[in-house]
A and B are shown apart, each in its own frame.
Chain A
């Protein structure tokens, strides 16, 4: 091997990155991942050349979408014939394939040309933090997320909650101990579940969902 070959290998080597998608916005992280998959973060970047790096994204099941997006946004699938288009809302899509949302968001950030799928083939996504060992061994760097991981209320200890500064005091009659979830929520048995709403007709409900969206499995319980 000559010196030039070693130089060439070093310059054009593909670095493997890890991305932890837990509590990260898939749109913002998709931008970062797409940039790395296309190699735009390198000074040797040139549009025709394939200079991109590889990315292993984990915890894609635990991504956090903005506002009401889980319910309000949908994957619009438009087949070529009449009356065959349908939407899959993102929460449903996420149930079907927990890696799909991050994939779609990354794909959305790439230019729409035929070379896009070759770059996207270098993205490996896993719903949880279980990654095959031969892939995790390749990794030599990590991409930072765009959000901080929030601390949930049930992660805190009661001491922390008590120490937290109170700006004003609620009247006593308004305060209920809402940390005790079991008081308010209970899991229903199958018999108690409301029956599936059967849609009739060709365009029942005038909605484009191709499947029946089941209603919530929980029910609010009134206390007193």
Chain B
């Protein structure tokens, strides 16, 4: 009965804790470039094509219009490896869509952005290498972490430890003991003996 009641009347069953973990949801990887970009003699820009959707009339795309009028040709000349498509669409907000060599696609709304903002977004697309939806495991990564070889418990361990039979008498006491009173007396005695003889 109570279940039925709950259906009709909006009493949401509240979960006390949400077990949402960012770490598990987002894929993680080490920082890397696609295909070791830049290790050879050349750098390949990962942005393949850029589609700018813009309206000629609405105020929302004023910055985008300005950018197209002033900077588009210079940008295209400077970056001939990016194919740029401009799509005029009537009465709709402006967008910029970047497609990358790896097949990823990024969509950025440019409503009410002025010229400098549009420029900033387009350059941000230009300098990325694709989908940024990654959680970096570390800020730095290397395949060869050690030049001198990785440490093991056996490095710098005296090799005679393999040949001994445990428990070993030589290894029980302290390595460099302090001189005891007995030893001091004995030494004094020896010295006195020497003094007497000389």
The residue that A145 contacts in the complex, of B157, B173, B186, with Cβ under 8 A, is B173
Does B24 belong to the interface (CB within 8 Å)? no
**B168–A142 CB distance below 8 A:** yes
The residue that A142 contacts in the complex, of B150, B153, B166, B180, with Cβ under 8 A, is B166
**A144–B153 CB distance below 8 A:** no
**B185–A148 CB distance below 8 A:** no
Q: List residues of B whose CB falls within 8 A of some A CB.
A: 150-154, 157, 161-162, 164, 166-168, 171-175, 177, 180, 185-186, 188-189
**B161–A149 CB distance below 8 A:** no
What is the total of A-B residue contacts with beta carbons within 8 Å? 63
**A149–B172 CB distance below 8 A:** yes
Q: Given A11-B151, A13-B152, are A148 and B173 also a contact pair (CB < 8 Å)?
A: yes
Query: Please, which residues of chain A bring their CB within 8 A of the CB of B172?
Result: 20, 22, 142, 144-145, 149
**B185–A10 CB distance below 8 A:** no
The residue that A15 contacts in the complex, of B151, B153, B189, with Cβ under 8 A, is B153
Query: Please, which residues of chain A bring their CB within 8 A of the CB of B186?
Result: 164-165
Q: Given A10-B152, A13-B153, A167-B185, are A129 and B174 also a contact pair (CB < 8 Å)?
A: no
Task: Give CA–CA (A22, B171) in the complex, Å.
Answer: 12
Does A97 belong to the interface (CB within 8 Å)? no
CB 8 Å contact bits of A6-28 with B (1 = contact, 0 = none): 01001101010010101000000
Which residues of chain A in 95-144 are interfacial with respect to chain B, using CB atoms and an 8 Å cutoff? 129, 136, 139-144
**A147–B174 CB distance below 8 A:** yes
Q: Given A7-B150, A142-B166, are A165 and B174 also a contact pair (CB < 8 Å)?
A: no
**A136–B166 CB distance below 8 A:** yes
Least Cβ distance of A195 to chain B in Å?
A: 43
Q: Apart from A10-B153, A13-B152, A22-B172, what are 7 other A-B pairs with CB-CB below 8 Å?
A: A10-B150, A142-B166, A142-B167, A142-B172, A143-B171, A144-B173, A145-B172
Query: Please, which residues of chain A bring their CB within 8 A of the CB of B162?
Result: 140
Does A43 belong to the interface (CB within 8 Å)? yes
Least Cβ distance of B85 to chain A in Å?
A: 46
**B167–A141 CB distance below 8 A:** no
Q: SS class of chain A's interface: helix, strand, loop or mixed?
A: loop
**B171–A11 CB distance below 8 A:** no
Least Cβ distance of A25 to chain B in Å?
A: 11
Does A146 belong to the interface (CB within 8 Å)? yes
Does A42 belong to the interface (CB within 8 Å)? yes
When C-beta atoms are compared, the residue in chain A nearest to B190 turns out to be A165
**A58–B175 CB distance below 8 A:** no
Task: Give CA–CA (A141, B79) in the complex, Å.
Answer: 65
When C-beta atoms are compared, the residue in chain A nearest to B157 turns out to be A141
Query: Please, which residues of chain A bring their CB within 8 A of the CB of B157?
Result: 141
Task: Give CA–CA (A147, B150) in the complex, Å.
Answer: 34
Task: Give CA–CA (A109, B172) in the complex, Å.
Answer: 21
Q: Given A7-B150, A13-B153, A20-B167, are A148 and B161 also a contact pair (CB < 8 Å)?
A: no
Most chain A beta-carbon contacts within 10 A, residue among B153, B154, B186 = B153
Query: Please, which residues of chain B bring their CB within 8 A of the CB of A139?
Result: 166
When C-beta atoms are compared, the residue in chain B nearest to A13 turns out to be B153
**B175–A43 CB distance below 8 A:** no
**B185–A145 CB distance below 8 A:** no
Task: Give CA–CA (A153, B164) in the complex, Å.
Answer: 30
Does A44 belong to the interface (CB within 8 Å)? yes
Query: Please, which residues of chain B bring their CB within 8 A of the CB of A164?
Result: 186
Task: Give CA–CA (A13, B174) in the complex, Å.
Answer: 26
Query: Please, which residues of chain A bring their CB within 8 A of the CB of B171?
Result: 20, 142-144
**A44–B177 CB distance below 8 A:** no
Query: Please, which residues of chain A bring their CB within 8 A of the CB of B188?
Result: 165
The residue that A140 contacts in the complex, of B161, B174, B175, B189, with Cβ under 8 A, is B161
